[in-house]
Amino acid sequence: MTNPTPKATHLCYRIRVRGHLPPDWGDWFDGFSLAHTADDATLLTSPLLDQAALHGALATIRDLGLFLEAVIPIPSETPGPPRNGG
C-alpha cells in the first residue's frame, strides 16, 4: 500500500500575527526573526523547520493568545521579510 501523503520536509515559514510584538518576545520563538509591518502585524520568519517544530511554534502562538493571520511556506533561500512591507 502506498502512502498518499507526501514525506515531511524541512521548509522555512513566515507566520503573520496581528499586532506589533515587543522585540523581547522573540525569546518565545527561538530561532525566528521578528519584523513589524506597516499594517500592524508581526512577521515571524523561521529557519528550516519540520512539521513538528512548526506545530510547536503554532502552539506557542495559541498559548500566548496571539491572533494568527497566516502561515506561509517560503523558499529556504529567501527567509527574510517580504520586500513589499507585508
Q: Are 49 and 10 in contact (CB under 8 A)?
A: yes
Q: For 56, which DSSP code?
A: H
Summarize the confidence of residues 11-16 as an average pLDDT: 91
**Looking at the domain 12-74, which fold is it?**
Alpha-Beta Plaits (3.30.70)
**For residue range 23-73, what is the model confidence (pLDDT) as tens digits?**
888 888 888 899 999 999 999 998 777 888 889 999 999 999 999 999 999
Residue 6 has pLDDT above 60, yes or no: no
User: Residues near 37 by Cβ (< 8 Å), separated by ≥ 6?
Assistant: 16, 43, 85, 86
Q: Where in the chain are the domains?
A: 12-74
pTM: 0.74
